[in-house]
Each structure stands twice: as C-alpha cells, then as structure tokens.
Amino acid sequence: MSPFDTAALSGEAALVARDLADYDRAVAYAERAITLREAHRVRSLASNRITLVDVHARRADWDAVVHHGADLLTISPALGSVRVMRRMAALGHRLRQRCDHPPRREFAARLDDFTRTRSLLLADLIPQRGEGTET
C-alpha cells in the first residue's frame, strides 16, 4: 500500500474540486500534486496528470489539454496499471465528443493510439468486466 502524503492529499483534493466544478482550484491542486510527486511513483504521477488534463477539458481550455496531455503521454512504459489505462481511455472518449479543435483532435488520436498499445501490452492483466479487481 502506498503512503498517504501531501501529494496524495493534493491529488484527492483536485478530484473533489473537479467534481464540484471548481476548476481553478482543481487545476491548482492537480499541479501541486504533480510537482510534489516523486518520479518513481509513476502510477500516482500518471493519475494526477490525467486529472489535470481532464479538468482542462471540462473547462474547455484546449491549448492546456494539448500541452499537459503531451506530458501524460510520456509516462513510463513500465507502468502496468489497468486503472490508469481505463482512466486514459475515458479521457480519450471525453476528448473525442467534440473534436472541432484540430490540435485537440490530433492529441485525442495520439491518446487513443497510446491507450490501445498499452492495453494490448496489459491484455493478460485486464479482467473482463465483472471479473477480478482493478490494479
């Protein structure tokens, strides 16, 4: 089990602020979580980056989505987290809903390719819906 630290608290606060549609605060908490997160905590770092990109998408800040999304696509190839891959797939779905912004459309396609490739690598770990638990 991972320790609960200031970075984890900031990440959770970002999710709460996002759910309350307090997007400015959510961005601040997510950015703080990313800054505080140690590089070897890859899953937590990826999760916080997903949150940051998701918040920017919810407030329709497409340039920030593309900018921070590029960081998201640099996560370690060694990350074997089904939960992160599912969150990335959900983010890609959100971004494809209205692809009238060309850079966003390009990023959504890159995210889809990234997620598809990672999902193939994790195929043995991903339980079918209703089976097992997420990691």
CB 11 within 8 A of CB 47: yes
Report yes or no on 126 lying in a domain. Answer: no
| Residues 85-95 pLDDT 10s | 889 889 988 88
Greater pLDDT, 62 or 81: 62
Q: Kindly report, residue by residue over 89-135, the tens digit of the pLDDT.
A: 899 888 888 767 788 888 888 888 888 887 777 666 556 555 555 54
Q: How many domains does the chain have?
A: 1
In a domain, 66, yes or no: yes
In a domain, 81, yes or no: yes
Residue 13 within a domain = no
